């Protein structure tokens, strides 16, 4: 059995093959998190509005997205949208739109749980002061809810970063694609995939450790 040789992985290889993929994976994570939180907050408010015309479509969307594997959604969007609009929008843009649409369903449930964690007494107190529903949410409920759910939001973001490796299947130039290309070009595919796994592990473990520390600080503030 041939031995593993990691000597091919140099600073030049990292710069030429890996760096661009790392940048795209981090950018996709950031954009999908921001878009998912914004869209997810809208969905959560729709589900909590009590208005059937808002609750029903938001519930169908959230439950529908959460019932379909992300890889399937990614492939559907990448393969079917060009047929509908008559032109390709590229793997990277397909990945961005798919991740925002998909992650919004998960962030929506996190935001909804965060809003519901706020004591109802604060809602009634804000109403007694003459605040409208929008002012109540903007000034009283959402700031506290986001603080409470910040650790789980960040945990979901770490999961999102791991999921970005799925865009490799549509040939987007992500971190995994960079390692794969380096391994193929330099005839070290096994070593490249091992290094990719280690790279994801180190990044995600470090971020998880930071989130755990943040969670302890928030618990002390409470």
The domains of the chain are located at: 11-221
Does the pLDDT of residue 1 top 90, yes or no?
A: no
The pTM score is 0.89
Position 12 pLDDT exceeds 60: yes
- pLDDT tens-digit series, residues 29-55: 999 999 999 999 999 999 998 899 999
CA-wise closest residue to 99 among 169, 31, 158, 44: 31
The predicted model gives 83-109 an average pLDDT of 91
* Domain covering 11-221, topology: MetI-like fold (1.10.3720)
DSSP 31-94: HHHHHHHHHHHHHHHHHHS--HHHHHHHHHHHHHHHTS-HHHHHHHHHHHHHHHHSS---HHHH
Query: What percent of the chain clears pLDDT 90, i.e. is strictly above it?
Result: 60
Q: How far apart are CA 39 and CA 44, in angstroms?
A: 9
95 closest CA partner among 182, 27, 155, 40: 27
């Amino acid at each position: 059995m041939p031995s593993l040789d990691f000597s091919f992985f140099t600073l030049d290889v990292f710069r030429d093959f890996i760096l661009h993929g790392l940048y795209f994976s981090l950018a996709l994570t950031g954009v999908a998190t921001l878009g998912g939180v914004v869209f997810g907050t809208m969905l959560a408010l729709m589900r909590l509005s009590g208005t059937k015309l808002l609750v029903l479509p938001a519930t169908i969307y959230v439950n529908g997205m959460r019932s379909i594997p992300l890889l399937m959604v990614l492939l559907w969007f990448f393969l079917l949208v060009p047929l509908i609009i008559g032109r390709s929008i590229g793997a990277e843009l397909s990945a961005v739109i798919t991740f925002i649409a998909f992650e919004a369903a998960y962030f929506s449930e996190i935001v909804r749980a965060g809003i519901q964690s706020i004591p109802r007494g604060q809602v009634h107190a804000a109403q007694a002061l003459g605040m409208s529903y929008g002012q109540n949410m903007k000034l009283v409920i959402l700031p506290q809810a986001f603080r409470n759910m910040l650790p789980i939001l960040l945990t979901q973001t770490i999961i999102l970063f791991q999921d970005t490796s799925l865009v490799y299947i549509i040939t987007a130039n992500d971190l995994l694609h960079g390692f794969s290309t380096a391994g193929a070009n330099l005839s070290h595919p096994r070593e490249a995939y091992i290094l990719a796994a280690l790279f994801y592990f180190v990044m995600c473990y470090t971020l998880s450790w930071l989130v755990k520390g943040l969670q302890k600080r928030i618990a002390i503030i409470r």
